[in-house]
Amino acid sequence: MTSNVTDSIVEWDKLEMTVRDVVGREPICDMHTHLYPPTFGTPVPNRTGRVNASGLMLWGIDELVTYHYLIAEVFRVVPSSQLPYETFWSWPKQRQADHIWQYLFVENTPLSEACRGILTTLTRLGLDPNEKSLSAYRAFFNHQDPDEYIDRVMELSNVKSITMTNAVFDDNERNRWLSEPTIAKDPRFRAVLRIDPLVRNYPHASEKLRRWGYQADSKPTPATLAEVRRFLSDWLDRQSAIYVAMSLPPEFLYPAPTADPVAAAGQCVLAEAILPVCAERRLPLALMIGSSLQTNPALRDAGDTVSKGDVPSVGRLCRNFPNNKFLVTMLSRENQHELCVTARKFGNLMPFGCWWFLNNPSLIAEITEMRFELLGRTFVPQHSDARILDQLIYKWGHSREIIAGVLTEMYRRTARTGRKLRLQDIQRDTTALFSGNFEAFLADR
């Protein structure tokens, strides 16, 4: 691009087209997903024939259609009084997928965001989203090679880097890291150390630590905390993790209520092991706050819900640990304004994404507009949270469109004051939003 072009003023009537074009072409660094490279194994039938039942790389039509969002939705249409939960769970995945396709896509109009996402994904892959059964899609996916297919999905979604979530307390995942030291050498993926049990249920986590060779007592004594720090350092080194992450319940409070010994122990581990290790290595700690587990246990993974979290606790963490960096996303719509205001007060707080039940066009638009109004462009507007590779196609396709629309409106407001907008301004802002802000927050030492 010549300087002549980059310096050009964008005319009012070209503004929307220009923003959509720049946003569409911008490669994305997806800062939080649950995706894996093929080295972690895949349970999905494919061209290579190397299928691993407990594999972690999920992709393909049966995984897409049985995503837990759609399981919750199909039980709205065929309630458990007609199809008991246990009957559904006893079926093989393909039969579950057939059931969901039949009732959400064939016998009903797919209107929800999760349903529309499947249609977008199929269409972008060159498939017809009007099929009455899944067999044509299965034939397509059976012919893919998982490794090549990752490249195709990243190209279609224009994602340049995928951030994993590596749950060290999950035995399946942990054993894979231990048995295959080069498991995460795929340059398309970066690792994140996920450690929820250390804070959510420290006494239980300490049992595992002892089994793994760390002298961690169930009470966080100084010697125990040193062992927890050693455990964290070992895993950060093993994974080359780019940050540390945990999901916290809506009830999370800092400081913890003293009447709750489990919460108090978790908080001690947070304050005296996790945060010091993160500060020493200049790694952010990501807090994902507000998911209430298993409000309907019969729905299993689809049974979690949302409640409001406590934003002042986030502010107190940012204030009391000024040498730490916090990436924070909250699940409740009602927490978003307070979180934005808190981010105005603390440079070590980076709000990110529109998570899970917020990942709907109306809410993404509302939250993104509010963030621009309160924070300029100093936030990370979105992460995919994809659990199934192919979801990158629709999650980013849909989000790009909405963010481009909001950004256009923000530029119009600025342009109405008489301020001229150059193409390079739009390019600089777009790069910051889709990768730069996150990378700068990681690199800030």
Site residues for Zn ion per CB under 5 A: 385
CA atoms within 13 A on the CB side of 57: 23
Q: How far is the CB of 245 from Zn ion (least distance, A)?
A: 8
CA distances from 57 to 34, 53, 94, 170, 186 (A): 9, 10, 17, 15, 13
Q: Where are the alpha helices (DSSP H) in 81-144?
A: 85-90, 93-100, 113-124, 135-142
Q: Using CA atoms, how far apart are residues 377 and 284, in angstroms rounded to an integer?
A: 19
Residue the block writes with tokens 């730490």: 324
Q: At what angle do helices 15-25 and 391-416 cross, to 10 degrees?
A: 140
Q: How far is the CB of 309 from Zn ion (least distance, A)?
A: 15
Q: How far is the CB of 194 from Zn ion (least distance, A)?
A: 9
CA distances from 326 to 363, 369, 382 (A): 23, 22, 16
Would you say 196 and 247 are in contact if contact means Cβ atoms under 8 Å apart?
A: yes
Would you say 414 and 421 are in contact if contact means Cβ atoms under 8 Å apart?
A: yes
Measured on CA atoms in the order 336, 337, 339, 340, is the torsion positive or negative?
positive
Angle formed at CA 102 by CA 97 and CA 108, multiple of 5 degrees: 130
Looking at beta carbons only, is 224 or 329 nearer to Zn ion? 329
Q: Using CA atoms, how far apart are residues 17 and 205, in angstroms rounded to an integer?
A: 52
Would you say 353 and 32 are in contact if contact means Cβ atoms under 8 Å apart?
A: yes
Query: Nearest residue by C-beta to Zn ion?
Result: 385
Question: What does residue 18 show for φ and ψ, rounded to 5 degrees?
Answer: -65, -45
Q: How far is the CB of 418 from Zn ion (least distance, A)?
A: 43
Looking at beta carbons only, is 304 or 385 nearer to Zn ion? 385
Q: Using CA atoms, how far apart are residues 217 and 416, in angstroms rounded to an integer?
A: 63
Looking at beta carbons only, is 310 or 385 nearer to Zn ion? 385
Q: Give the SS3 label for residue 254.
A: coil
Q: How far is the CB of 92 from Zn ion (least distance, A)?
A: 26
Looking at beta carbons only, is 202 or 355 nearer to Zn ion? 355
CA atoms within 13 A on the CB side of 258: 0
Looking at beta carbons only, is 196 or 310 nearer to Zn ion? 196
Q: Using CA atoms, how far apart are residues 136 and 121, in angstroms rounded to an integer?
A: 15
Q: How far is the CB of 355 from Zn ion (least distance, A)?
A: 7
Q: Using CA atoms, how far apart are residues 345 and 108, in angstroms rounded to an integer?
A: 47
